[in-house]
Structure 1
Amino acid sequence: MASPPKSGRPRDADRERQLLVATLDLLAEVGYDRLTIEAVASHCGAGKTTLYRRWPGKTELVADAVALFHADAAVPDTGDLRTDLLMSASTWHTADTRRDAVVAGLLTAMARDPELRETVRAAVADPGNAVFDQVVAQARARGEVTAEVDTEVLACVLPAMVFHQITVRSGPVDRTLMETIVDQVIRPALTRPA
């Protein structure tokens, strides 16, 4: 038996996106610890209940907001491992000071808050790892990947190096960095002789 339809207005995808973008803006400005549902609502001219109807709390709101950074991620299949790896990393090699500020602030909060860490992992890391796994599987089917490697560990290399670049080195996260990571670390690990 099907569930009865929910009463009330249907969700407005544009409004939801506005709320998530406002969350990112405030995260970049004040950080996770000082972010409040009230501040996001005020920033958007919305009531707190508007946010609480969509998200049970700040943790879930932040996870969905951060997932926007990868919302358009697709699994590339150009027929070339290097090109596919670079295309799947394209989210990272655009200049985005807001993204960098959000990432830097969230890393500290995630280290202290296991619930936040798990929620952000499920919203951001798991989908990113799935794209990486698919790119590797496609390349393996074409005969480009010969090594037996732990793709779960290898999928973490690029995000880890990006986070290090943002938080420790304060250097640019650009195409040159992505090419260096792909050409000197990831691709050699995937294509070394078995």
Structure 2
Amino acid sequence: MRRFTDGFYGYAVALFVCLAGAGLFLLVTPQSREEHIPRLDYSITVANFGHEVPYGVWAPRQDPPGWVPNSNRIAKGENGAQVLHLGYATAKREHAMFAQSDEQPAAGFASRMANTDKAMGTQQVGGVTWEKRFREDKDQRTLVRFLPEVTLVITGTADWDELAQFAAQLHQRPQG
């Protein structure tokens, strides 16, 4: 019996037993082939943000088809301004983020969210003009809308059509 626990044969048997156990474990463990992106409800975050800012909050009427909201938070921006962030996995499984703030200067907020200060034209979405920005090294596209009391930014690796699809869903909720 000592022959199976000493030397090379003992090592080989122990290795075989470990590999067989791991293989059996992998064989009987359920494996999902479906993608799972966690869905996070942002309605309470948006409501809380609305109580903290002196303007009507912008939010989507509904999420675009196939988009999954997967993050949300309220952060402090420059000069103590509040910033609302809503993160998404788009229908094409790219990343998109919506941010809004009354941070001043507004151009500084937009540049920080877009990772660039260079505009490359405009895009019309539902009769509203959005400024377009693109940062090539990050493959980051951004739509920016400057309003008198708030700046809206939609940014991410999503294509222009997806960003515009989200912009079309935005509406301002009553202040409160």
**What's the TM-score, normalizing by structure 2?**
0.21
* Higher helix content, 1 or 2: 1
**What's the TM-score, normalizing by structure 1?**
0.20
> Which structure has more RCO (C-alpha within 8 Å, separation ≥ 6)?
1
* Higher strand content, 1 or 2: 2
Larger Cα Rg: Structure 1 or Structure 2? 2
